[in-house]
Amino acid sequence: MASAVDRTETGVANLALRFIGETRRLSDVETDATAEAQYARDFLGIARETILSGYDWNFATRRASIAASATAPAFGYDYQYPLPSGCLRVREVVGAGQDYPWTIENDGTQQVLLIDMTSPVNVIYIADVTALAQWSSHGFSAYAAQLAAMMALPLSKDVQIARLIEDQAKRTIERAYELDALESGGVPAFPQGSWITARDATEY
């Protein structure tokens, strides 16, 4: 019988090491003194945010109704809306369409949505899901692949090996996202700037 997936930071680090081809297993990524553990600690946070914000994962999608700030933008838009805590990327402003163009900026203290729509505004966004137990199996494998790609060069000290691992990671992440998208009943829409759209742009 297959063992349950260890949906912890130690679990994702060990999966990433397996992806790279390392045989060593970490007992606790936070306290282990090995080079593998140190590199994992260095990259865990940025790998998580990178893989989450790069794709429209179903498990990380949240909805919120947000209120306008008392302070209006200096110019260009009528209102600014502080984004929900933990928002990594806004997928959609419901009802905005072409009538209400919008953008995300930082007002000096926080990320805000700038738009001419009156309050409240409904948004669909990607959240920074730090509780790994909430991740889908597809998302978790993609996280491990992203972490492996980031750890490959520091661990192997070999550019060719690191490139091979990164290429395999790209394919793993693409497949994971395609499977995740099946749960939404549509064709996966890869956000601009993801590995997939960057790859497609070079094929023409």
Helix count and strand count (H, E) for the chain:
5, 6
pLDDT one-digit tens code per residue, 16-39: 999 999 999 999 999 999 999 999
C-alpha closest to that of 112 among 144, 135, 87, 134: 87
pLDDT, mean of residues 172-176: 97
pLDDT one-digit tens code per residue, 81-94: 999 999 999 999 99
CA-CA distance, 99 to 69, in Å (whole number)?
Answer: 21
Rg over alpha carbons for the chain, rounded to the nearest Å, is 19
Tell me the pTM: 0.86
- 196 band by pLDDT with thresholds 50, 70 and 90: very low
Mean pLDDT of the chain: 91
Q: Domain segments of the chain: what residues?
A: 9-57+130-201, 61-127
pLDDT, mean of residues 145-160: 97
Residue positions counted in the chain: 204
pLDDT, mean of residues 55-81: 97
Q: What does the pLDDT read at residue 185?
A: 63
